[in-house]
Chains A and B, each alone.
Chain A
Amino acid sequence: QKEVEQNSGPLSVPEGAIASLNCTYSDRGSQSFFWYRQYSGKSPELIMSIYSNGDKEDGRFTAQLNKASQYVSLLIRDSQPSDSATYLCAVNGRVSGGSNYKLTFGKGTLLTVNP
């Protein structure tokens, strides 16, 4: 059973459009949720974190969290070719039976923004 699932992609959008990335998770005890951007051959770069239900906006990026539905999404407005990358959803959940936390990643969604 996969713990974090993302829409498989790849996703292709024209420049200036809105890109929508989705993620579901299985652990209801998860506390924090992150979106990372990863360019080919590079390490993940944090672009958004969200801890409470609702929307969180940062520039062209909006993260949405719905804990009841175990769903988190990322919207990228006015998409630019430089946004072309793999987007990783990551969930920080409690390790069963303990007080420790572990960051679990989805497989990632490859986004291509076409000029």
Chain B
Amino acid sequence: DAGVTQSPTHLIKTRGQQVTLRCSPKSGHDTVSWYQQALGQGPQFIFQYYEEEERQRGNFPDRFSGHQFPNYSSELNVNALLLGDSALYLCASSFPNVDGGYGYTFGSGTRLTVV
């Protein structure tokens, strides 16, 4: 049973460029959430996708956008990159558990460096 797959693993971009990160959720999971984790900080919620729609969004500017495809995979796009966008980007897929909780599975992340 494949877990969450993220690509690429590492990426170096120049300020002002655009980047697309990809995520394939765990089999059976229909919800994908994206997180940004800066060095020394906990993961910060960017947005969540369900049924191909953005269901909720954290405190991130419109430069951050996303998409979910019919197979539940997802993309995170960041435009006009800033140095401060350098971080580990994590994708988590989830599905309600039978006990009322939620099971979240994280991918290995994409390390984005903006120079």
Contact = CB atoms under 8 A, between A and B. Distances in A.
Question: Do A and B interact?
Answer: yes
B33 A92 contact: no
A100 B106 contact: no
Interface stretch (B13-21, B39-47, B63-71, B73-81): B39-47
A32 B105 CA distance: 14
Interface residues of B, number: 26
B86 interface: no
A88 B48 contact: no
Interface in A37-63: 41-46, 49, 51
The residue in B90, B92, B106, B109 that gathers the most chain A C-beta atoms within 10 A of its C-beta is: B106
B28 to A, nearest CB: 17
Most chain A CB within 10 A, of B41, B48, B100, B104, is at B104
Interface string A103-115: 1111110000000
Interface residues of A, number: 27
A101 B102 contact: yes
Interface in B28-72: 33, 35, 41-45, 48, 50, 55-56
Contact of B42 (A43, A45, A98, A107): A107
A105 B56 contact: no
B100 to A, nearest CB: 7
Contacts of A105: 35, 42-44
A12 interface: no
- Which of A49, A92, A102, A107 has the most CB atoms of chain B within a 10 A radius of its CB? A102
B41 A51 contact: no
A42 B94 CA distance: 19
Contacts of B44: 105
A32 B45 contact: no
B13 to A, nearest CB: 19
Nearest to B4: A43
Nearest to A105: B42
A95 B50 CA distance: 14
B43 A31 contact: no
Contact of A102 (B48, B105, B107, B111): B48
Interface string B91-115: 0101000011110111111010000
A106 B42 contact: yes
